Chains A and B, each alone.
Chain A
Amino acid sequence: MSRVHERRVQLEKDLGGDHLYASRVRVYSKAVKGKMRRIKWAVLAFCLTVYYLLPWLRWDRGPGRPTQAVLLDVASRRYYFFGLEFWPQDIYLLTGTLIVAAVALFLVTSLFGRVWCGYACPQTVWTDLFMWFEREIEGDRNERMKRDAGPLGFDKLWRKTAKHAVWLFTAFWTGGAWIMYFADAPTITREFWTGTAPVAAYFFIGLFTFTTYALAGWGREQVCTYMCPWPRFQSAMLDEQSLTTTYQAWRGEPRARGKRDPGARPAGDCVDCAACYSACPMGIDIRDGIQLECINCGLCIDACDHVMAITGRPKGLIAWDTLADQKAKQEGRSLAFRWLRPRTMIYFGALAIAGTVMLVALLLRAPIAMDAEHDRAPLFVPLPDGGLRNGYTLNLTNRTQRAAPFVLTVRGLPGAVLADGTAPQERHTALTLPVVADSIADFRVLVITPPNAPHAARWPITFVLRDPATGDETTYAAAFFGPAAAAGGGR
């Protein structure tokens, strides 16, 4: 019985019993050996090693600074990534990174189909890991199916208990590693076990323990088929030139069991042995053609190649291939894989542009920034001596790791002087506005013109902010407001 047939039987059973909804058909995937499996193990090992160990990597940023290489410090609104430090104002870099990641995913999908889903997606990685635990404890496909169908005995009980215990422990470890990205890893570990960690830490460990356990242990292929939006629109990236896991129907069909006798009905290379769909973690039959559920993991390739070796037929009855090449092979020709197609070139172009823009934006981040907000009311204050005064709130950013004794001057207004809003009687031509390391500060600054100075209803001025220690400078184009008529005019 094929998998699809099993499903058909199940459906008929459900409908016959007046059930509106379909039961889930459990997937018992069989262990395979081969090239794809080795690649999948290697990607899995790499991803999990990075995930679990990265928070423990240290990075020296000087005294009093976080020593964790990758840290998302929500409380103080800083994100540390090795030598880089990001502020909430750098959110556009995150947006850009997501755009780059999305376009890269489109490019890879248009070239190699859903390899992301098959190899690198966290859902796939953790599901694969959980399936490995399951096989180690409960045995391979046939043994598991038999035990599940049988009565509950001691053997079944202890194996199931052991499996869930291992799953829960792994899920807990996963949740624990997650929070280490948000707090200093050694500190939060100590706090966690001494019961002094913040409530949020326990909550998120619990949450991610639960989601990991539920999604990788129980949800599995249901997540990919029903919950994830990606398979629904990935077909927009695929075309007949994309590499996908493909059953070579032209040489496989008509499928038939048993030996190929010269006198018997002509039969293809497929011996209908069930190896391909038994190995499938999604529970589908690749021989039905390219389909939504397929995650392109290629485990059926390994399974089939093994059978082909036994039957003495050439490998690659299930292989990475394009739909166009399939068609050509049917006609006895063969097509080379086309890397450069309008689709891939557009994706690659978009990726190159987005990547370059993001890199330039990252490299040109200024260590100093200024914003000026003019007082809403009054726009200007006439002074007893005949001068005018405008008030501004200056927002100064010091992204460096030392205190910056910023010096503010104003350009474009003859004879204008500055005053600190907290000491308006003291006039300066250059105002010192110190900002401590790695922070933003607000200052109220007054700009004052001398008596009878020329002015207009709106006079463009420029604030110049300079860090005398580094020589960094930034400007802000502001406006100085006054009455429309000339100052000091008679009435």
Chain B
Amino acid sequence: MPGKIEKDSVTGTETTGHEWDGIRELNTPLPKWWVYVWIASIVWGIGYMLVYPSVPYGPGYFHGLLGYSSRSHVAHEVAEVDAKRDIYMKKIAAQPFSAIEKNPQLMQVAETAGAITFAENCQPCHGQGGEGRLGYPALAAGAWIWGGTLPAIRQTITYGIRSGDPQARDSQMPPFGKSGMLNAGQIQQVASFVWSKFYGHPTKGEDIAPGAKIFAANCAVCHGPQGQGNPAFGAPRLASHVHLYGDFRASIVRQVTDPRMGVMPNWNKRLDPATIKAVAIYVHDLGGGQ
């Protein structure tokens, strides 16, 4: 502190006594109440450190007198939300689809729960919006293999397809080529027929009559005389523009010779019945539901 008060001759204000290269600093002090607020903030800070987690030491940290922890706070809030959600999920589990569909609130919960569950579990194969991909059915298109009603979708999700679950949906496409039931020529003939008649790609100057005959004798029993398919056996609809293995003639030949048959896991081991119902509602409302 300056021993003697020195005044600046121009302004008449006291200086602090500090001088740099002949420039002296004027003393224009802060108001006192400002300092008191600052001190009060420090006192508040000490109190805050006492009641809330603050000082770390070696293996742990001081937990504070209130014992607050952001982790348990989150856990508590999650539990609260779970309890709230549970009210609706119980209703979804208990009510039939027809009743849920009439309740906008339950539908909203189901759609949301379904969307989240779908994104976590179904999206890797069926695509983000259920658009499907080669070998994985398109759910949004309405080209259902095992049926697109709400109960049918729930059945498929719950027990899966060829999943090993006792109640799984199961069917076999016979390996017509590999087992020798049809020879290579016959397979080409039936492929030409399906490609032209059902896939909608007219073949030039090719006689599809022999293929039609082979189809009627071997395929129509499951796929239908008009190629309309049969959801009861999971026989895909052939008269369509959406095909499980793509819009390729080679795929038809491959499926007749040595068929690929996909597997869908049974989700009853991983998801509870209410969540499965929610996913069924979400999938149904992607745009292809029946």
Write the residues of chain A forming the contact surface with B, with a CB cutoff of 8 angstroms. Answer: 8, 11-12, 14-16, 18-24, 222, 226, 375-378, 381-386, 389, 391, 421-422, 424-425, 446, 451, 488, 490-491
Partner-A contacts on B (CB < 8 A): 1, 5, 12, 14, 27, 29-35, 127-131, 138, 140-143, 200-201, 237, 240-242, 247-249, 285, 287-290
Bound together, the chains give a CA A20 to CA B33 distance in angstroms of 12
Residue of A nearest to B131 (CB): A378
9 new A-B pairs (CB below 8 Å) besides A24-B31, A389-B140, A451-B241? A11-B14, A15-B14, A18-B1, A21-B30, A226-B31, A378-B127, A378-B128, A378-B130, A491-B201
Using Cβ atoms and an 8 Å threshold, which residues of chain B touch A386?
Answer: 200, 241
Taking CB atoms, residues of chain B closer than 8 Å to A491 are: 201, 247-249
Which residues on the A side are within 8 Å of B27 (C-beta)?
15
* Closest chain A CB from B120 CB (angstroms): 16
Say whether B285 contacts A381, CB under 8 Å: no
With A15-B5, A424-B287 known as contacts, the answer to whether A22 contacts B131 (CB < 8 A) is no
A378 to B141, CA, bound (A): 11
User: Judging by beta carbons under 8 Å apart, are B30 and A378 in contact?
Assistant: no
* CA A14 to CA B2, docked complex, whole Å: 13
Please indicate the chain B residues that have their CB under 8 angstroms from the CB of A19 in the complex: 32
Complex CA gap A226/B240 in Å reads 79
Contacts of B35 in A (CB 8 A): 20-21
CB distance from A470 to the nearest CB of B (A): 27
Which of B14, B131, B240 sits near A381, CB closer than 8 Å? B131
**Cross-chain contact B285 with A421 (CB below 8 angstroms):** yes
CA distance in complex: A19, B31 (Å): 11
Cβ distance B134 to chain A, nearest Cβ, rounded Å: 13
Question: A16–B3 Cα gap in the complex (Å)?
Answer: 9
Task: Supply 6 A–B pairs (Cβ within 8 Å), ascending by A.
Answer: A15-B14, A389-B287, A391-B287, A424-B285, A488-B241, A491-B249
Cα–Cα distance between A375 and B248 once the two chains are bound (Å): 28
Most interface-central of B140, B201, B287 (chain A CB within 10 A): B287
Residue with the highest number of chain B CB atoms closer than 10 Å, among A11, A16, A19, A382: A382
Min CB distance, B97 to chain A, in Å? 14
A383 touches B31 (CB 8 A): no
Considering the chains assembled together, what is the distance between the CA atoms of A96 and B127 in angstroms?
A: 46
**A267–B35 alpha-carbon span in the complex (Å):** 44
When distances are taken between beta carbons in the complex, the residues of chain A under 8 Å from B33 are 24, 222
* CB-contact partner of B290 in A15, A21, A425, under 8 A: A425
Does the CB pair B129–A384 fall under 8 Å? no
CA distance A16 to B237 in the complex (A): 101
A18 to chain B: which residues have CB within 8 Å?
A: 1
Q: Give the residues in chain A near B29, CB-CB below 8 Å.
A: 11, 14, 20-22
Q: A21 contacts which chain B residues (CB < 8 A)?
A: 29-32, 34-35
Least CB distance from A219 to B in Å reads: 9
User: A384 and B287: CB pair below 8 A?
Assistant: no
Instruction: Please pick, from B128, B138, B241, the residue contacting A385 in the complex, using a CB distance under 8 A.
Output: B241
Measured between C-beta atoms, what is the minimum distance from A344 to chain B in Å?
33
* Max chain B Cβ within 10 angstroms of own Cβ: one of A20, A23, A24, A488: A20
**Closest Cβ neighbor of A390 among chain B residues:** B287
Please tell me which one of the listed residues A15, A23, A382, A490 contacts residue B141 in the complex, with CB atoms under 8 A apart: A382
Asked if B200 and A384 make an inter-chain contact with CB atoms under 8 angstroms apart, the answer reads no
Q: Shortest Cβ distance from B59 into chain A, in angstroms?
A: 41
Residue of A nearest to B33 (CB): A24
B129 touches A375 (CB 8 A): yes
CB-based contact B131/A383 at 8 Å: no
- Which one of A376, A381, A386 has the greatest number of beta carbons of chain B within 10 Å? A381
Q: Within the complex, what minimum Cβ distance (angstroms) separates B103 from chain A?
A: 13
Complex CA distance for A491 and B247, rounded to whole angstroms? 8
Q: Is the CB of B247 within 8 A of A384?
A: no
Determine whether the beta carbon of A376 is less than 8 Å from that of B128: yes
Docked pose: A424 CA to B248 CA in angstroms: 28
B14 touching A422 by the CB < 8 A rule?
A: no
Decide if A383 touches B32 in the complex (CB within 8 Å). Answer: no
Contacts of A23 in B (CB 8 A): 31-32
Judging by beta carbons under 8 Å apart, are B14 and A12 in contact? yes
With CB as the reference atom, state the residue of chain A lying closest to B240: A384
Interchain CA distance A15-B27 in the complex, whole Å: 10
The residues of B that contact A20 with a CB separation of less than 8 Å are: 29, 35
User: Are B140 and A381 in contact (CB-based, < 8 A)?
Assistant: yes
Contact check, B141 vs A383: say whether CB atoms are below 8 A apart.
yes
Q: Establish whether residues B288 and A424, one from each chain, have CB atoms under 8 Å apart when the complex forms.
A: yes
- Known A-B contacts A11-B14, A375-B129, A378-B127; the reply to A384 vs B32 at CB < 8 A is no
What is the chain B residue whose CB lies nearest that of A389? Answer: B287
Question: Are B142 and A383 interface neighbours, CB within 8 A?
Answer: yes
Contact B201 A490 (CB under 8 A): yes
Taking the closest CB of chain A, its distance from the CB of B99, in whole angstroms, is: 16
A222 to B36, CA, bound (A): 14
Which residues of A are found within 8 Å of B143, using beta-carbon distances? 384
Which A residues lie within 8 Å of B237 (CB)?
Answer: 384
B200 contact set on A, CB distance < 8 A: 386, 488
B14 CB contacts on chain A under 8 angstroms: 11-12, 15
Quick one: closest B residue to A4, CB to CB? B12
Q: Assess whether B32 is in contact with A22, with CB atoms less than 8 Å apart.
A: yes
Of A378, A446, A490, which contacts B129 at CB under 8 A?
A378
Chain A residues with CB under 8 A of B248: 491
Question: What 10 A-B pairs have minimum CB-CB distances, sorted nearest first?
Answer: A378-B131, A377-B128, A384-B240, A22-B29, A386-B241, A490-B201, A377-B129, A378-B129, A21-B32, A424-B287
